[in-house]
Amino acid sequence: MKIIGAEHSLVLAAKTAHILGAELLSAEFRSFPDGELYVRADAPAEDLVIIGSITNSDSLIQLLLLIDACEEADSLSLVIPYMGYARQDKKFRPGEPISARAVALALSQGIDRVYTINIHENTVLDHFVVPAENISIAERISDYIRSMKPGNPLILAPDEGAADFASDVASFGGFEHDHLQKIRLSGTEVNIAPKNMDANGRTVFIVDDIISTGGTLATAAGMLKEQGAAEVHAACVHGVFTNGGYARLAAAGIKSVAASDTIESGASSFSAAESISAALRGR
Ligand code: R5P
């Protein structure tokens, strides 16, 4: 097995290759003066794995080009650590595309199987026309939280939709967990608090699949502090941190913000490489 990293997933690809004892193949990425992208990869007729997150439209095109450049591969697996466009997984308004479907169909051409990591909705996997598997790194987040040796920790999901994920993170570390509930007090006022638990005196970790603008977490953090939380931390799989998201969380008094390396940034505090390696070994 040989690994090729797309331009924005090179560190994760290198870590995965190291764990697997696999060769990391190099690829060239640049753009033409008109902005079109150029990719070149020495892709032999072997068992190849491309690791590449879709963090913007260019990285999607880059992945499509990389897949095409690997046409000689005996077998080609694609790992998409962060799959941008996956959140538009249904038509919210008439006339909209199902962007997750469009992207999945395009990427399915030329590959034999695909892996995602904590995909926004598992139904997105059904849009690939090759075998598709989702890998959860809840255990890695749990390990990270444990490494901080928190006193009296409480794992919270920011909403009911993320409750199962928070439960998974908590169960690996033997932590207590709950999810936040938003109660509208008036046209302008909402109260956000854990549904069943009391945050008073607890070291709270809000965990989510994605932190994007950080708006959800910043509001929740302020209220948890008012409710007596000793410390509020945030951890997620995919740190998108758009529109000043990271700064917004810091300004809200969140003591630490951690993400995995599915999107490589200064916030990448734990890695998805072990989980990807285990899935690739198990093929
Ligand atoms: C939504 O379904 C996701 O799980 C996240 O909760 C959401 O993307 C977070 O967005 P933001 O950081 O912009 O509040």
Kindly report, residue by residue over 120-177, the tens digit of the pLDDT: 999 999 999 999 999 999 999 999 999 999 999 999 999 999 999 999 999 999 999 9
Q: By alpha-carbon position, which residue is closest to atom 9 of ligand 1?
A: 211
Find the 75 Cα to ligand 1 centroid distance in Å. 35
Model pLDDT for residues 196-238, shown as the tens digit of each residue: 999 999 999 999 999 999 998 998 999 999 999 999 999 999 9
Looking at the CA of residue 162, tell me the nearest atom of ligand 1.
4
pLDDT of residue 184: 85
Give the whole-angstrom CA distance, residue 229 versus residue 222.
10
Picking from 142, 89, 91, the residue whose alpha carbon sits closest to that of residue 120 is 89
Given the residues 90, 91, 182, 255, select the one marked as catalytic: 182
* Predicted confidence band of residue 189 (pLDDT cuts 50, 70, 90): confident
pLDDT of residue 185: 87
195 part of the active site:
no
* Predicted confidence band of residue 283 (pLDDT cuts 50, 70, 90): confident
pLDDT of residue 143: 98
Give the whole-angstrom CA distance, residue 254 versus residue 274.
28
Find the 241 Cα to ligand 1 centroid distance in Å. 10
pLDDT of residue 258 exceeding 90 = yes
pLDDT of residue 188 exceeding 90 = no
Find the 114 Cα to ligand 1 centroid distance in Å. 24
Q: Which of 87, 211, 242 to mutate to test the pocket of ligand 1 (most atoms within 8 A of CB)?
A: 211
Strands (E), the chain: 2-5, 23-25, 27-31, 37-41, 47-51, 75-80, 113-117, 132-135, 153-157, 176-184, 190-194, 203-211, 231-239, 256-260, 268-270
